[in-house]
Amino acid sequence: MNERPPEWLHPPDLKSATAIQRAIADAVEQSDRIGPVRRVAGADTSMRWRDSHGPIHAAIALDDGTVGGATRIPPFPYVPGYLGFRECPALTAAWETLVEKPDLILVDGQGRAHPRRCGIACQLGVWLDVPTIGVAKSLLCGRQDGVLGEAVGSTAPIVDRGEVVAMALRLRARAMPVYVSTGHRVSLDSAVARVLRLSDGRRIPPPVRAAHEAANAIRRAAGVEDSILP
């Protein structure tokens, strides 16, 4: 792991967290620095419905079926727009359990499509110095520019304050799109192309679905029955 200030994972307070998000956003590489991609993973978390204090169950699921998992009490309160500080410590712990690390991670959540350009895919990617892509089911900021076609592979830019921060991408005909954004070390064009290539005709790409299922399985194994995940 590259050396980063520990406050980038554990800010002392909300004011500091805002400044840290801006610093992380400045550290994000929006061009391709990927290398050979032999292993792809999805990353996701699960927690008890409406329980903002209880444990977060994190999973990084590789395409060969290997899962790195961890459960942690979130060190940061629930504040919209700052979820990375709650989830990244658990995801980092899950990463550390993996013997074989993935070369690319699709994160269930935002990348640059964030008010301060620092969604969880950016925060995790910069902290681990690993290529990441944000794959979100809804928008946190910005608006779609233009019409999104109904065919698989159709795209439309998401624009926030004059900047294209994500692409709406249709992975299943006439289904709701996903919103793909740069996390770290992957350009937006490459992110869209890779997510489309990994798609299997369902709305959510397989790496993200696998991580979702793995995180829920870790939560159930801990004896927690309901989940905040849809």
DSSP 3-state assignment of 62? strand
Assign residue 10 the CATH number of its domain.
3.30.2170.10
Are 147 and 156 contacting, i.e. CB atoms less than 8 angstroms apart?
A: yes
Q: What pLDDT is stored for residue 227 in this prediction? A: 45
| DSSP code string of 200-223 | -SSSS-HHHHHHHHHHHHHHHHTT
Q: Is residue 227 part of a domain?
A: no
pLDDT of the chain, 230 residues: tens digit per residue: 467 899 999 999 999 999 999 999 999 999 999 999 999 999 999 988 767 777 999 999 999 999 999 999 998 998 999 999 999 999 999 999 999 999 999 999 999 999 999 999 999 999 999 999 999 999 999 999 999 999 999 999 999 999 999 999 999 998 999 999 999 999 999 999 999 999 999 999 999 999 999 999 999 998 755 544 33
Residue 191 maps to a domain? yes
**Quick check: is 16 in a domain?**
yes
Based on the structure, what is the number of domains in the chain?
Answer: 1
pLDDT of residue 152: 97
Q: Which domain holds residue 124?
A: 6-221
Does residue 226 lie within any of the structural domains?
A: no
Type of residue found at 108: D
Quick one: pLDDT at residue 226? 52
Among the residues of 78-141, which ranges form H helices?
84-96, 120-128
- Indicate whether 230 belongs to any domain: no
pLDDT at 94: 98
Domain for residue 228, yes or no?
no
167 DSSP β-pair partners: 157, 180
Q: What is the DSSP letter of 161?
A: T
